[in-house]
Amino acid sequence: MYKLLLCGRYLRTRYIALASIVSVTLGVATMIVVNSVMGGFRAEMHRRLHDILSDIVVESHSLEGIEDPEFVQAEVRRIVGADLAGMTSSVHIPAMLSFQVQQQWVTRQVNLIGVDEETYARVSDFGKYLLHPENRGQLNFLLREGGYDARLQEAGWTHRRRRVAYQRAYRQQQEQARQSFEAAQTSFGEEPARPAPPGPGPPAEMTPPPAVRPASPAAEPTRFQPARDPFAAATGGAEPVFDEMTQQHTGIILGIAIASVRQHTADGGVADFFLCRPGDDVKATFPTAGTPPQAVSDAFTVVDLYESKMSEYDSSFAFVPLRKLQQLRGMIDPRTGMASVTAIQIKLRDGANLDAVRDRLRERFPPYEYRYRIETWRELQGPLLAAVQMETTILNILLFLIIAVAGFGILATFFMIVVEKTRDIGILKSLGAPSGGILSIFLGYGLSLGAVGSGVGLILGLLFVTHINQIADLLELVTGQEVFDPTIYYFSEIPTVIHLPTLGWIVGGALLIAVLASVLPALRAARLHPVEALRYE
Amino acid sequence: MSSLVPLRRALPGGGVDGGPHLRIDQPWPPAGLPADPSAALLSARGLRKSYRKGNVVIPVLRGVDFHTAAGEFTAVVGQSGSGKSTLLHLLGTLDAPDTGEIHFQQRRIDNLPAAARDQLRSRQLGMIFQFYHLLPELSTLENVLAPVMISHGVWRYWRTRSHHRRRAVELLEMVGLGHRLRHKPRELSGGEMQRAAIARALVCRPRLLLADEPTGNLDRASGQEILHLLRSLNERENLTIVMVTHDEGIARQAHRVVRLVEGRVEET
């Protein structure tokens, strides 16, 4: 009882000891904030990665793909059994995407994904990141009349018709200008020839070149020549009756960062400036499935944009219908009609053991017999997830060192308190207090200090986390420096996750350090000789 | 002086005004006390104790024989450095002799394990010191209760706390500090602190009270009050007291005076 009483009294009366635990408080609060923010980013990233990648992916090593996907799917169904929630086939290939911005062709490197409209939504939450609300419910590669995200202002058929009308008017204007220019040049070329000099005329080879320049633009283009489609030759130009005003090419869904640039506005906000939007046409160039691969191009109409807020995905993913991509790449066997795919995505029911299912599939399709690999979504994003995990671990180690430094502060303060309390220790011993009791007083005191320090740190940390966005705004206001740049992270707010076990080990670790720091001074106190302690001045 | 009224009232015929209840010129042993040292409550034989400072060995006790019977009030006197405080510390098991034996209630205590010595100190011995040695963080009442808290576990103390508290308040009222229960030691005078220390020493009903210069840090009046209190306790409670002092006048008020000279006993 005397131990509790003295611990309580020392806690209330030794303010210097309380000062020594400020660093414990700050360390605990910082660790909670950092872990919550890192955890928030990681959870958001995991969610988005998982949403896109499904649970397990059977991926072909080559771009030619898995030749008999139906067999593989049947085997997967048999092996996975009741754990299977959905499965889809897809084609993933690198591609170059080109579109016109201000009459100039812009080319982007993309990851072109052919998806099956019917089954892709069952294995992936890809749909919920589309900008058109109707496409979120059911994936569709047809251009909508309107109703797109408000940021796009004008998109869909409305935008397409207006754009085509404008382009036609522009081309007509250019054509007229060209004709007038040619007419002017023709009349200049046809003006009466100057009288021939006396004597025989010049030999034929000395005849001056005709005043009119060759009409063929291919020979020497003029500045008034209308813009040509450089992809016409690649695609064979075999779409003579295609009416852009009423028809669309095969639909394509682009990652929002491919089609836009995110910039700060004058008022300090953030806005997306769209380079192309639903209703515009793009050209995609990608390799065929043969060996060696040939480049093939085709025109697509942007039907929607995709915003997962994962910059890696938003700046590289473009989705097209699976069947069309298989046709263009020559992945359909003309004899059997069987279409190959480069990946089979598998979604398991909630609670299924991913690694166990993966192992069963690997056992059925060993890598030395089959030309594809079987991996979970975590393995596919292994380097990224490992990098984030390592970053978190290192940060935690560094931050824990702050608390360890605080531990040395407690150690020094405790030694001072033990010296100050030497006579009290002698009194307690003279009254019959055992050495273990004295040890308990100082260990309990260290534990109490740790509990107060980490408790206050816990409260401060949680308050900070719950108001982190307001604090970021305040810091921006005070320092003028942007704390959280939404153009980089694609999040409007700093994501945070309060993970109770993490809070537990942070507080537990701080308590342990405080107790460990008090062990040496407590031992010293316990070993004091009562007579020497009583005589201490 | 007024603070001692309850005690004076409790002691029939006693009190400073009425003269000491025990006469200092009473012959030794007083009636009722055993003349045979083997019947002593506390006895020590051949106690030697030296302190080492670097390579220098300083002998403090050079073979001390000592005994005190139950109910006896013994004064140990001597000059500074004569070894009287060291003797008291050895008798109180705060320190161990280099050689020699100490017996308490016919039981050897100098070679007891640490835990048993701690238990002995907390339950059978009471100690008071020149500088009072109250715990500054605790109130007067808590200081008096401290030995009980030490000798009892948390649950045992919690179950019997009202009983112990009642006894502590009674003791504080007896020593005239009933109105100072909540006061911290720094708010008390020297005499009051020593009286609180006496109450603390008595709370566990010890068989023996060891007092190390209890009046050494007090003015004459306060010293007399404390001395009177000790003598009254000895008489009323039949409490055995061993008091160390350098003041011959104070020592003369004890039943018996043991004189220490250069680490040896010169009994008078």
pLDDT band at residue A206 under the 50/70/90 scheme: very low
Tell me: pLDDT of B4 over 50.
no
What pLDDT is stored for residue A229 in this prediction?
A: 59
Asked if the structure places residue A31 within a domain, the reply is yes
Q: What is the pLDDT of residues A209-262, one digit of tens each?
A: 443 343 444 444 444 444 555 565 555 555 567 788 888 889 999 998 898 888
Pick the residue with more confidence: B211 or A483?
B211
Q: A274 with A249: CB under 8 angstroms?
A: no
Among B94, B135, B152, the residue with its CB nearest the CB of A424 is B135
Residue extents of the structural domains in chain B: 33-267
Together in a domain, A445 and A341 = no
Q: Is A530 on the interface with B (CB under 8 A)?
A: yes
What pLDDT is stored for residue A486 in this prediction?
A: 66
Asked if the structure places residue A172 within a domain, the reply is no
Q: Select from B118, B152, B157, B209 the residue whose CB has the most chain A CBs within 10 Å, as the one to mutate to test that interface.
A: B118
Q: What is the pLDDT of residues A115-156, one digit of tens each?
A: 988 888 778 877 888 888 888 878 888 888 888 888 888 888
Report the residue of chain A nearest B85, measured CA to CA: A531
Together in a domain, A34 and A117 = no
Contact yes or no for B133 and A434 at CB 8 A: no
Partners of residue A424 in chain B, C-beta under 8 Å = 135-137
Tell me: pLDDT of B30 over 50.
no
Interacting residues of B137 by C-beta distance below 8 A, sequence separation 6+: A6, A9, A10, A13, A424, B184
Highest mean pLDDT among A473-487, B29-43, B232-246: B232-246
| CA distances from residue A134 to A177, B54, B259 in whole angstroms, order as listed | 44, 93, 108
Distance from CA of A83 to the nearest CA of B (A): 56
Q: What is the pLDDT of residues B10-21, one digit of tens each?
A: 433 333 333 333
Asked if the structure places residue A190 within a domain, the reply is no
Interacting residues of A534 by C-beta distance below 8 A, sequence separation 6+: A423, A426, A427, A430, B94, B129, B133
Fold of B33-267: Rossmann fold (3.40.50)
Contact yes or no for A5 and B129 at CB 8 A: no
Distance from CA of B36 to the nearest CA of A (A): 30
Together in a domain, A391 and A527 = yes
Partners of residue B200 in chain A, C-beta under 8 Å = 431
Mean pLDDT of the region A195-202: 44
Predicted ipTM of the assembly: 0.81
Q: Is the backbone of residue B63 left (phi > 0), alpha (psi -120 to 50) or beta? A: left
Report the residue of chain A nearest B95, measured CA to CA: A531
Question: Percent of chain A having pLDDT more than 70?
Answer: 88
Q: A272 with A334: CB under 8 angstroms?
A: no
* Of B19, B100, B28, nearest in space to B69 by CA: B28
Partners of residue B151 in chain A, C-beta under 8 Å = 432
Domain ranges, residue A312: 54-155+294-378
Last residue of a domain, one of A321, A345, A378: A378
Contact yes or no for A2 and B146 at CB 8 A: yes
Asked if the structure places residue A148 within a domain, the reply is yes
E strands of A206-307, at which residues?
Answer: 250-255, 260-264, 270-274, 281-287, 295-306
What pLDDT is stored for residue A461 in this prediction?
A: 94
Which backbone phi and psi does A311 adopt, to 5 degrees? -60, -30
Element (H, E) at B73: strand B73-78
Q: Is the backbone of residue A141 left (phi > 0), alpha (psi -120 to 50) or beta? A: alpha
Mean pLDDT of the region B141-164: 88
What pLDDT is stored for residue A112 in this prediction?
A: 92
Distance from CA of B145 to the nearest CA of A (A): 9
Mean pLDDT of the region A438-462: 90
Together in a domain, A407 and A496 = yes
What pLDDT is stored for residue A191 in this prediction?
A: 52
Q: Is A437 on the interface with B (CB under 8 A)?
A: yes
Q: A239 with A159: CB under 8 angstroms?
A: no
The count of other CB atoms within 10 Å of the CB of residue A7 is 20
How far apart are the C-alpha atoms of B213 and A382, rounded to whole Å? 78
- DSSP code string of A451-468: HHHHHHHHHHHHHHHHTH
Together in a domain, A397 and A528 = yes
Together in a domain, A404 and A452 = yes
For A142-160, letters b (16+ CB in 10 Å) and e give ebbeeebbebbeebbbbbb
* Of A275, A256, A287, A307, nearest in space to A100 by CA: A275
The number of distinct structural domains making up chain A is: 2
Tell me: pLDDT of A300 over 90.
yes
Last residue of a domain, one of A378, A394, A424: A378
Q: B139 with B196: CB under 8 angstroms?
A: no
Together in a domain, A92 and A123 = yes
The count of other CB atoms within 10 Å of the CB of residue A178 is 16
Q: Is the backbone of residue B71 left (phi > 0), alpha (psi -120 to 50) or beta? A: left
Together in a domain, A420 and A445 = yes
Mean pLDDT of the region B144-162: 87
What pLDDT is stored for residue B9 in this prediction?
A: 38
The model carries a pTM of 0.65
Q: What is the pLDDT of residues A4-47, one digit of tens each?
A: 888 888 877 777 777 778 888 888 998 899 889 888 888 887 77
Tell me: pLDDT of B136 over 70.
yes
What pLDDT is stored for residue A23 in this prediction?
A: 82
Tell me: pLDDT of A198 over 60.
no
Q: A427 with B133: CB under 8 angstroms?
A: yes
Tell me: pLDDT of A334 over 70.
yes
Q: Is B122 on the interface with A (CB under 8 A)?
A: yes
Tell me: pLDDT of B112 over 50.
yes
Contact yes or no for A432 and B120 at CB 8 A: yes
Question: Percent of chain A having pLDDT more than 90?
Answer: 14
What pLDDT is stored for residue A190 in this prediction?
A: 55
Average pLDDT value over all residues in chain B: 80
Together in a domain, A353 and A430 = no
Q: Is B112 on the interface with A (CB under 8 A)?
A: no
As a whole number of Å, the CA-based R_g of chain A is: 37
Contact yes or no for B157 and A1 at CB 8 A: yes
Distance from CA of B200 to the nearest CA of A (A): 9
Contact yes or no for A430 and B94 at CB 8 A: yes
Together in a domain, A504 and A458 = yes
Q: Is A534 on the interface with B (CB under 8 A)?
A: yes
Contact yes or no for B150 and A437 at CB 8 A: yes
Residue B210 forms beta bridges with which residues?
B127, B242
Tell me: pLDDT of A52 over 80.
no
Tell me: pLDDT of A200 over 60.
no
Mean pLDDT of the region A415-425: 87
pLDDT band at residue A113 under the 50/70/90 scheme: very high
Together in a domain, A448 and A493 = yes
Average pLDDT value over all residues in chain A: 82
Q: What is the pLDDT of residues B157-185, one digit of tens each?
A: 888 888 989 989 988 888 888 888 899 99
Q: What is the pLDDT of residues B31-72, one digit of tens each?
A: 444 445 456 788 888 889 898 888 888 888 888 888 888 888
Together in a domain, A449 and A321 = no
How far apart are the C-alpha atoms of B78 and A274, rounded to whole Å? 103
Asked if the structure places residue A195 within a domain, the reply is no
Among A424, A433, A531, the residue with its CB nearest the CB of B118 is A433
What pLDDT is stored for residue B245 in this prediction?
A: 87
